[in-house]
Amino acid sequence: MASAVLAVSTLSKVGAEVAWLPFAWALVLLAAAILYLHATRRGKFQVWEELLDELGLQGHERLLDLGCGRGAVLLAAAQHLPQGRAVGVDLWRSADQSGNAPNTTLHNAQAEGVCNRVDLHTGDLRHLPFDGGEFDVVLSSLAIHNIKDAEERRQAVAEAVRVLRPGGRLVLADIGRSTALYERALGALPVTEVSIRPVGWRMWWGGPWLRTRVVTATRATR
């Protein structure tokens, strides 16, 4: 009799726990959706504004945004460059970002009042259409991971360093383990002050399992 009572009690507890599972999953999915929307609508802008402030731009620099897309980071950078140039390069593929087209980015630049200091180019990040040492700053936000092959991602990082002037700054923000590859790639390139760090929950794309980290470096002067 006691065994039967214990069995019924155990099954009741298990049943109650199972009944809570759909509710718990719903909460997890809701939290993930909220985090994703915040990262898309506000978080990434806040984080990049801080990253741009850290660069200490003087306003006359020539800056390159790799995979600029519709211009969220490019145009924020242009606001810091009243006498400089903010240059964006992209393949303009809608598979990487919806509505990805040069005309969209130019329209956004006009709306932000920075069209006169923004230049757009069509180009592959693995073979940038620029001479070596053209830029004071090279940055990228959530773009290089779209290159599927690891060796070709390393090539994109090498190209970013190639177009930097000596003493120029590199800032690469991307998702998850991709940034570890960038850090390793930089170890074989002429750069100093390489660092990698998370940027916090504001750029979690649904949760900590899809968090953004930023890799920074300085082009060596010798």
pLDDT band at residue 99 using 50, 70 and 90 as cut-offs? confident
For the stretch 92-100, contacts whose Cβ atoms lie closer than 8 Å and that sit 24 or more positions apart, written own/partner, are 92/122, 96/67, 96/69, 96/143, 96/146, 97/69, 97/70, 99/70, 100/69, 100/70
Burial class (CB in 10 A: 0-12, 13-18, 19+), 136: buried
Answer whether residue 161 is part of any domain: yes
Share of the chain above pLDDT 90, in %: 69
Could you list the residue range(s) of the whole structural domain that residue 177 is in?
42-219
Give this prediction's pTM. 0.86
Task: Write the CATH number for 55.
Answer: 3.40.50.150
Residue 167 has a pLDDT of 97
Nearest to 167 by CA among 221, 130, 117: 221
Please say whether the beta carbons of 220 and 168 come within 8 A.
Answer: no
Answer whether residue 1 is part of any domain: no
**Number of domain units in the chain:** 1
Residue 137 CA to residue 161 CA, distance in Å, equals 10
